[in-house]
């Protein structure tokens, strides 16, 4: 990543960090253990890619309101999925971003409830903050709930679990990636653009951007997991392979995965170009996704 983009990204990330700190209940809110667990997982870092994409999309055209509360909401949603995915009954991961995962740091019951709380809070944040823009609020909530529901995000996670330890075909792998990872990334962009009162055509264009970003993101993640070191990832390397999880690498090999990542990056860039507006930052973010593997 070049220095200019790095600094620009950092200002967006800082805005998100500040939003998280300001908009989440304090860790001393009753019950303290629950709110401490929510903050522990929300403050674990990460690149804040979904809220940053949302804000970038909201800046494509003039926006009717500040997208920060919605950006924090999508990070709450994303963080709840990590907490529940790490549970012993699901992926059984003790580490997340180099720290003990929520159920390891607290306990399993607290982690279930902290995840439930962050999921619920995502919708509360949007309904409360955009109460004076109710048409916007309703669209944002519909986008977020649909993308993260049983037919998309959770459905992708379910099929991922169901296919562990067995050979996987390209269709199933695509279903998992499009839904488990792709749907929420697409929602981040769609929700951002909602702030600009978009046309139907613009919504279709941003969905195409999201679709290809989502696939790039997952393929790059699979490549990094197969080739990186644990310090860089903050989780045990080869974790996916160890549990015989379905990855692009298992299906296409490293070289095939590289080719797919490049193809989807090019498609995402083309769709963002077609959308127009102030898309310079969005184009840079898309290009950078693929560069993570170089």
Q: Contact positions toward a second copy, by CB under 8 A?
A: 25, 29-31, 33-35, 38, 80, 84, 87, 89-90, 107-110, 112-117, 119-121, 123-124, 126-128, 130-131, 134-135, 137-139, 141-142, 145-146, 148-151, 154-155, 157-159, 161-162, 175
Select 151 or 201, whichever has its Cβ closest to a second copy: 151
d(CA 225, CA 258): 13
Q: Chain centroid to CA 191: how far?
A: 13
Identify the burial level of 132 via C-beta atoms within 10 angstroms of its C-beta, where 0-12 means exposed, 13-18 middle and 19 or more buried: exposed
**Closest among 258, 133, 108, 113 to 195, alpha carbons compared:** 133
Select 162 or 204, whichever has its Cβ closest to a second copy: 162
Task: Work out how close the CB of 169 gets to a second copy at its nearest, in angstroms, rounded to a whole number.
Answer: 14
Task: Work out how close the CB of 62 gets to a second copy at its nearest, in angstroms, rounded to a whole number.
Answer: 21
d(CA 219, CA 274): 24
Select 9 or 73, whichever has its Cβ closest to a second copy: 73
Task: Work out how close the CB of 94 gets to a second copy at its nearest, in angstroms, rounded to a whole number.
Answer: 15
Select 114 or 271, whichever has its Cβ closest to a second copy: 114
Q: Chain centroid to CA 54: how far?
A: 10
Q: Which two tokens stand for residue 228?
A: 């990186």
Task: Work out how close the CB of 174 gets to a second copy at its nearest, in angstroms, rounded to a whole number.
Answer: 13
Task: Round to the nearest angstrom and report the end-to-end CA distance of the chain.
Answer: 10
Task: Work out how close the CB of 166 gets to a second copy at its nearest, in angstroms, rounded to a whole number.
Answer: 15
């Amino acid at each position: 990543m070049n220095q200019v983009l790095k600094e620009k990204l950092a200002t967006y990330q800082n805005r998100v960090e500040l939003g998280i700190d300001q908009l989440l209940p304090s860790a001393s809110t009753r019950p303290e253990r629950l709110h401490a667990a929510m903050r522990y997982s929300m403050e674990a870092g990460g690149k804040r890619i979904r809220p940053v994409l949302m804000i970038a999309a909201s800046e494509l055209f003039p926006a009717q309101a500040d997208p920060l509360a919605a950006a924090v909401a999508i990070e709450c949603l994303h963080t709840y999925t990590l907490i529940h995915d790490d549970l012993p009954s699901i992926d059984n991961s003790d580490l997340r971003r180099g720290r003990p995962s929520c159920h390891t740091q607290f306990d399993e019951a607290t982690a279930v409830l902290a995840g439930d709380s962050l999921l619920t809070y995502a919708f509360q944040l949007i309904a409360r903050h955009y109460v004076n823009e109710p048409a916007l609020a309703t669209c944002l909530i519909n986008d977020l709930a649909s993308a993260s529901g049983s037919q998309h995000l959770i459905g992708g996670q379910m099929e991922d679990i169901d296919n562990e330890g067995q050979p996987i075909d390209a269709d199933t792998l695509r279903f998992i990636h499009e839904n488990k990872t792709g749907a929420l990334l697409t929602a981040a962009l769609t929700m951002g653009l909602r702030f600009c009162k978009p046309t139907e055509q613009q919504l279709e264009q941003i969905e195409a951007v999201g679709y290809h970003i989502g696939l790039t993101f997952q393929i790059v993640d699979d490549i990094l997991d197969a080739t990186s070191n644990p310090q860089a990832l903050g989780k045990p390397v080869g974790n996916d392979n160890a549990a015989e999880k379905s990855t692009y690498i298992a299906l296409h090999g490293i070289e095939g995965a590289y080719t797919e990542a490049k193809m989807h990056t090019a498609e995402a860039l083309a769709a963002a170009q077609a959308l127009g507006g102030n898309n310079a930052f969005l184009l840079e973010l898309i290009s950078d996704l693929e560069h993570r593997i170089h």
